[in-house]
Structure 1
Amino acid sequence: MSTAPSHDRRLAELRAFLRSRRERLTPADVGLPDAGRRRTPGLRREEVAVLAGVGVSWYTWLEQGRDIKVSDDVLDAVVRALLLDEAERDHLYRLAGLNPPQRTAVPSAPVSPQMQGLLDAWAPRPGYIRDRHWNFTAVNDAARVVFGYGETDHNCLVSFFTNARYRAVHRHWDATAPAVVAGFRADAARYPDDPEFDRIAADLAEVSGEFAALWARHDAAEHTSAVKAVDHPDAGLLVFDATSLPLPEHPGHHLILHNPQPGTDAAERLARLMRAHPGGGTPTMS
C-alpha cells in the first residue's frame, strides 16, 4: 500500500511529465492546422483531448494530477496523442498507477562471491555492479583505471556529473548526459515509495546546474546498451560497447560490462594500459 507522500509525489510527477510532453509538440507534429502565434509553447490541452478522443475536462484533470480512475485503453489514447515512445509509455503507466507493475523496493544487497569473481574474470575489461539507486556495489580495477573512479565515487549518476576525471576523458559527455538522467528518472518511477531517489536528485541538483536543468525536463528512457568513447591520457581513444544486465536475484541491481568495440584497436590499447597499471589504482587524469 502506497503512503500519502509517495502518492502525492507520483501525482506531481504525472502533472509535470504530461505537461512537458504536451509542450514539446507543435500542431504540425500531430497533423493539426497552425492557428498562428501561441502564448505558450506546445499543444493546448483541448487539442490533446481531441486527438485522444477523451473529454477536455477529463484530460485536464489527468494533467492536473487529480486522483481519477484511468483505464489502459484511455491511457494508450493519450500515449498516441502525445507521440510517446515505448519507454515514455511505460513511465506514464507507472505514474498513473497502472501497468507495468511497480516493483517493491528491496535493500541493496552485497556482491556475492560469484558476481565478484565474474567482475574479476572480466579483466582487463571494465565492469561494475550498481544497485537500484545507481550506487556502486562493486567496481573492478579496469573500470577504475579507464574511467578514473576513485575512493570518493559511490554513485554512478553522481560521478557522471561531479567526477572531473571521468568527464575529461568521456568524448561524448554532453550528448550522453540527457540519456543518463532519463534513465535514472525511469528507474525512480519503478519505486514510488522510495524517497532515496528524490534525495539523490535533490542533492545532485544543488551542486550541478547541468543535472538540475536535465532533471527538470522530465525525460524518461531505458537503455540496456550504449557506446562509450574514452580519450584516455595514457592509452588514447578507447571505444567500448557497454551492456547492462539485470540481476534477477537482486531486483534493481545491474551488472555493467564494457567490451572493446570490434573493428577498433581498443582491445590492444586497453591491454597495454592495464599492464602499465598493475593492481588497478586510479590513474592521474591531468
Structure 2
Amino acid sequence: MEITRLSAEGRSRRTAEIREFLRSRRARVSPADVGMAVGVARSRRTPGLRREEVAVLAGVGVSWYTWLEQGREINVSADVLDAIARVLRLDAAEREHLYLLAGLNPPQASPAAGRVVPDGPRQVIDSWLPHPAYLIDRHWNLVAVNRAAEVVFGYREHDYNCLVTFFTGARYRSSLCHWRDAAQAIVGQFRADAARYPDDAEFGRIAADMCAVSPEFAEIWKEHSVRNATSGTKTVAHPEAGELSFTYTTLTLPEMPGHRLMLHTPAAGTDTQERLAALLGSAVA
C-alpha cells in the first residue's frame, strides 16, 4: 500500500535520500559479490555495481531502475523492491528503509519465496534427482530448481534468469566447456523465443539490458542468428567433480504455457553418473 503523499519539501528530501541510499548500497557490492564474471568489471570508474548491472540482476528495466534511483514518480511493487534488496544485499532494516523511500509501506511479514509450481512439474523436478532439472518461464526466468542443478551449475538465490547467469555469472561462465559455441546457441534460442511472442516487450527489454552489461552478448545479438534446440549436450568442468557431460531434453507444459522443463541425463560413455553421485553425496554431507 502506498504511504501518505508528501509535501513538495518532503518529496525533495526523500528524492535526495533514495538517490544517495541506493548509490551507497551499490558502491559496497562488488561484481564478484554477486557472481558476475571478472571481465564485466573491466574499465570500471566507480566502485561497486553500476545501475544497469543492478537492473539486469534484479530483472527490471535499466531506465526504470535509473528513475527509481533518481526519485522519480514511478509505479513500484513489493516484488521489484525485494529483488533490488536481494541484489544489493540489504538487511531487514535497509529493506524497510528502501520501501519507505520508494513510497510503500514495508510488509509486515516476509513474502512467500518462489513461485507457485503445480504438483506435477514439481514432482518431476524433485524426482529427477540425482540428475539436474529445472523449470523456466517464457523469459528464461528460473521458476524451480532441484538440488542437483544447484550443485552442478552453481545456481544461487539471485540467479533468477538463465540468460543473465550465462553471461554474467563467474561460476557458470568459467565451468561451461566450449563457452563461445554455447553462447551463440543460447542467444539464437532466445531470439527465436522472442519471435514467438511479438507483442511481449519484455524480450526486447531483456536483450537491450543484456547488451548494456555484456559486450559479448551485444556482439552475438547483432548477428541475428536463430536456433531452435529441444535437446542437446552440455559439458561443465566442475571445480570439485571434474568434467560432467549431460544430454538434455526440453519439455513444454500444457498446464503452464510458455514454461519449459529442462531435464539433464549423464551422457553415455562417460563417468558422469559416478562423479555426480559422489558430488551430491559430498554436498549433502
Q: Indicate the TM-score class for this superposition, using the shorter chain for normalisation.
A: 0.5 to 0.7
Deviation track 1:119-145 (CA, whole Å, cap 9, x = no partner) reads 111111001000000101101111010
Deviation track 1:6-64 (CA, whole Å, cap 9, x = no partner) reads xxxxxxxxxxxxxxxxxxxxxxxxxxxxxxxxxxxxxxxxxxxxxxxxxxxxxxxxxxx
Distance in 2 (alpha carbons) for counterparts of 1:272 and 1:261: 16
TM-score normalised over the length of structure 2: 0.59
Counterpart in the other structure of 1:278: 284
One-letter amino acid of the counterpart of residue 220, structure 1: V
Structure 1 stretches of 5 or more lacking a match? 1-108, 280-286
Q: Does 1:128 align with 2:117?
A: no
Counterpart in the other structure of 2:249: 243
Distance in 1 (alpha carbons) for counterparts of 2:179 and 2:159: 18
One-letter amino acid of the counterpart of residue 135, structure 2: I
TM-score normalised over the length of structure 1: 0.58
Q: Give me the CA root mean square deviation.
A: 1.2
Distance in 2 (alpha carbons) for counterparts of 1:135 and 1:228: 19
Q: Does 1:116 align with 2:122?
A: yes
Deviation track 1:177-202 (CA, whole Å, cap 9, x = no partner) reads 11100000000011111110011111
Query: C-alpha displacement at 1:250, in angstroms?
Result: 1.7
Distance in 2 (alpha carbons) for counterparts of 1:111 and 1:278: 25
Q: Tell me which structure has the larger Cα radius of gyration.
A: 1
Query: C-alpha displacement at 1:110, in angstroms?
Result: 3.2
Counterpart in the other structure of 1:226: 232
One-letter amino acid of the counterpart of residue 255, structure 1: L
Structure 2 stretches of 5 or more lacking a match? 1-114
Distance in 1 (alpha carbons) for counterparts of 2:201 and 2:251: 25
Query: C-alpha displacement at 1:246, in angstroms?
Result: 1.0
Q: Does 1:138 align with 2:144?
A: yes
One-letter amino acid of the counterpart of residue 266, structure 2: P
Query: C-alpha displacement at 1:113, in angstroms?
Result: 1.8
Count of matched residue pairs: 171
| Matched residue SS, 2:284 | coil
Distance in 2 (alpha carbons) for counterparts of 1:159 and 1:243: 20
Query: C-alpha displacement at 1:248, in angstroms?
Result: 1.9
Distance in 1 (alpha carbons) for counterparts of 2:176 and 2:225: 22
Distance in 1 (alpha carbons) for counterparts of 2:282 and 2:150: 13
Counterpart in the other structure of 2:269: 263
One-letter amino acid of the counterpart of residue 125, structure 1: H
Distance in 2 (alpha carbons) for counterparts of 1:158 and 1:110: 22
Counterpart in the other structure of 1:217: 223
Distance in 2 (alpha carbons) for counterparts of 1:221 and 1:235: 30
One-letter amino acid of the counterpart of residue 130, structure 1: I
